[in-house]
Amino acid sequence: MYKFKVDEEVARWTLEVHLQVDRSAAAHWWVAFSNPTAGPWKRLMAKTGEGEVEVYRYRREEERPDLIIVSDILKAVLIVEAKDNHDKLLKERQMVKSIRVMREMEAQLVNLGDNPAWDVRAQYSYIPGFLWGEARDIEAESRAVANAYYEVAQVSLSNPLIGFAIRNIDDTLIPQVHVHGTLSISKSTFLESLNFPLIS
Amino acid sequence: MAADKHALEFWSDSFHEGDWSCKELGNHLPIIRISHLNGFIPQYLYSLPNGEELEVTVYGSYGIWSPLPVPIGELLEWGKPDLVVYSPSEEKILFAVEETAAVPTGNQALQRFERIFGSAKRRIPFWYLVGEYGMHLDKGVRRDSIWAAVACLKLTVIFGVPSIVLHYSTKDSPEDYNAGTGLHSLFNILSKFLLNWAGVIADETMIPELQDQYLEMFDFIQSQWQQITDYLPSVEKLIGDGLAREFAVRALGNEPSNEFSGFLRWGLTRELPDEIRQKQSGRSLIKMDRLMARLEELVESGKAYTLSKRTGSRPQPRDSVGRWIRAQEGLFDVSGLDNPPEFTLKITEFPPSPSGLLHLTTAKNILYLCDLWEDLAREIISAYPRLAGVLKFFNAQDPVMFYVSNSMKPGRIFGDPYTGQLTNYSINFARNMSGEVSRKVVTYYPHQVHSQLFDSSGKLRSNKGITLMKVLVDLAIFHSGVAVVLKDGPIVL
């Protein structure tokens, strides 16, 4: 067995694996777009009755978020920016870029109401999220990221923000989540939809 | 009783690519089970036709793993293929794959070719899945260049391994992985290779698929070459199942056929067909450069030739050019050189385009096939007198491939797309079908300083661009005529 480090790619992939493999999470959430470090994935896809349909294609030089996940049950779209660790997210230049990417992406998606494959999803709640690896104290790290976000974005603390972090417990990677601000649904419903493992 | 199980590792540039490959392979070998080790490492179990099983573990993102298997680390020196299939029990790479969504136009068309060469050199089978049709920045649909396919034919014969370009997409569905035959063909042959490795099928069973793939490469070259070059030697022979079968047989390591001798040979100017030779003429430069002006004179006087007049210039923003010049000047270090030259790049020498951008392009061609080293050496010394008396490496009669990159951004020449372009041209124009050097390779970087090759302690830096220069380039000439021999050195002149 090889040793590994948890970078942005691994953090994003671990979250994706959980959302696809965990039955409860998979029943709630699906991945509309993922931005791996390499590969041809530059299309944003929507689930429809006839399978996956492309609803948006990024231009070559266009900035793109790292992950977009959708819950048709909760009527929510999470636009997620990822980095190797939370320190990298805290840098002001990075935070400015992350917020710009999230806002531009949200603007694109709420304008897709005329696209039958996206349709009512244009009316969903669009929630920013951050994801990082090498997590040790998810609560403290998430609070630091949230503080930086609210300050740079200049929005009220009641605006929702999701912090995802990947913990490494004896070489097993476990996604964790922390919710900031107020969601349009109950926090417990949101947490149950993700069904992340509890760490004792 | 448990079935016999074979174990392989799929190493990839990202988990998505490794996982995607496993799923595509599942269209050819039934998947029994998918699981995830450590919460994130995909592991696929396939059923083989003889009742045995194949377990594939995906290691995405090369850089996160340690220790990296030695053969994989060595291969990555030539760039990172999207997929490397590795047998840990044998410590051996079975094959590698590159698949790209990059638009196959302009400079992009040959990027990543160094990975194909790096694999072939190690006798690792390589498949390159690339879009046949792509959307250019101007929204027009463009078709792939022929040069990767032509060089892959040569690599197949030289090294006796599959070196194959497969195309996806169609004119009506550009950049669509699921259009065209390439994707299915790729995983069909990969599944056959895996079954062959597992001892389920014999070598001969793979020949029909390989033959079809080489035939598709012939057909593509036949239908596209006139859009890319005015001349392609022996293109008329690139037809038919018989020749495609010869390539397939050679790809499996059998002795090369006599039919290959003299194939794709770029001769001297006097050997060109009359109508091609008569069309050769020197052309004006976009941005003045003493050496490039002399190269055009060699063409005009019938001592060198170029391949196409369908070339252009992509001007750059003025502030970028200014920044790059300052950066190059900061890197310029001529300490230790005899007769040291001066840094002379000035923004005023780059002509503006109608929109105010600046042209970096010197000559309209980037490739010249020169008949004699003595002619080229004379022109180099004429442009850079400081090199008089020191260019004594080659025989006067040696033919030369001369490649120029007008790039100015520091470090750019060591990465995509220039590394792929240089590697591809070196194979296509400076090697014969036996792999022997048929032309010396001279490269010219008028806007790049030589000092970038070295670290602060004066040692050659380590990157894929320098790795391939050491193997493929006989003489590199940098800004102000600083010449560097990398193969047996470095020697800086």
Q: What is the model's pLDDT at position B95?
A: 96
Which helix (H) or strand (E) covers residue B475, if one does?
Answer: strand B475-477
CB crowding B225-235: b at 16 or more within 10 Å, else e: beebbbbbeeb
| Chain B residue with Cα closest to A169 | B38
Q: Which of residues 25-44 of A touch B (CB under 8 A)?
A: 34, 36-42
Which of A9, A166, A167, A170 is the mutation pick for testing B, counting most B CBs within 10 A? Answer: A9
The candidate with the shortest Cα–Cα distance to B478, out of B451, B452, B446, B438, is B446
Q: What is the model's pLDDT at position B435?
A: 87
* Percent of all residues in chain A with a pLDDT value above 70, rounded to a whole number: 97
Q: Does A82 touch chain B (CB under 8 A)?
A: no
Q: Does B100 touch chain A (CB under 8 A)?
A: yes
Q: Does B51 touch chain A (CB under 8 A)?
A: no
Q: Does A17 touch chain B (CB under 8 A)?
A: yes
Collect all residues of chain B within an 8 Å Cβ-Cβ radius of residue A4: 64-66
Mean pLDDT on A129-146: 93
Q: What is the model's pLDDT at position A159?
A: 95
Q: What is the model's pLDDT at position B47?
A: 97
A and B: number of Cβ contacts within 8 A? 75
Collect all residues of chain B within an 8 Å Cβ-Cβ radius of residue A18: 39
Q: Does B356 touch chain A (CB under 8 A)?
A: no
Low-confidence residues of chain B: pLDDT under 50: 1
Q: Which of B66, B100, B177 sits opposite A3 (nearest CB)?
A: B66
Q: Which of B36, B64, B99 sits opposite A21 (nearest CB)?
A: B36
Q: Which of B13, B64, B99 sits opposite A4 (nearest CB)?
A: B64
Residue with tokens 């300490």: B335
Whole-structure pTM value:
0.89
CB atoms within 10 A of CB B125: 24
A167/chain B closest Cα distance in angstroms: 11
Which of B35, B61, B62, B100 is the mutation pick for testing A, counting most A CBs within 10 A? Answer: B61
Q: Which of residues 147-176 of A touch B (CB under 8 A)?
A: 171-174
Which helix (H) or strand (E) covers residue B225, if one does?
Answer: helix B207-228
Q: What is the model's pLDDT at position B180?
A: 77
Query: How many whole angstroms separate alpha carbon B168 and alpha carbon A44?
Result: 20
Query: How many whole angstroms separate alpha carbon A154 and alpha carbon A152?
Result: 5
One-letter amino acid identity for B393? F
Q: What is the model's pLDDT at position B464?
A: 85
Q: What is the model's pLDDT at position B179?
A: 76
Q: How confident is the model at residue A200 (pLDDT cuts 50, 70, 90)?
A: low
Evaluate if residue A114 carries a pLDDT over 80. Answer: yes
Collect all residues of chain B within an 8 Å Cβ-Cβ radius of residue A85: none
Tokens of B459: 């040692």
**A3 contacts B14? CB cut-off 8 A:** no
| Chain A residue with Cα closest to B136 | A60
User: What is this model's ipTM?
Assistant: 0.94
Q: What is the model's pLDDT at position A189?
A: 95
Could you state, in order of their start, the residue ranges of all structural domains in chain A?
8-194
Collect all residues of chain B within an 8 Å Cβ-Cβ radius of residue A10: 15, 40, 60-61, 64
Backbone phi and psi for residue B65, each to the nearest 5 degrees, phi listed first: -105, 145
Q: A8-194, what's its fold?
A: Trna Endonuclease; Chain: A, domain 1 (3.40.1350)
Q: Does B70 touch chain A (CB under 8 A)?
A: no
pLDDT, tens digit, for every residue of A13-58? 999 999 999 999 999 999 999 987 555 557 899 999 889 888 998 8
Evaluate if residue A61 carries a pLDDT over 80. Answer: no
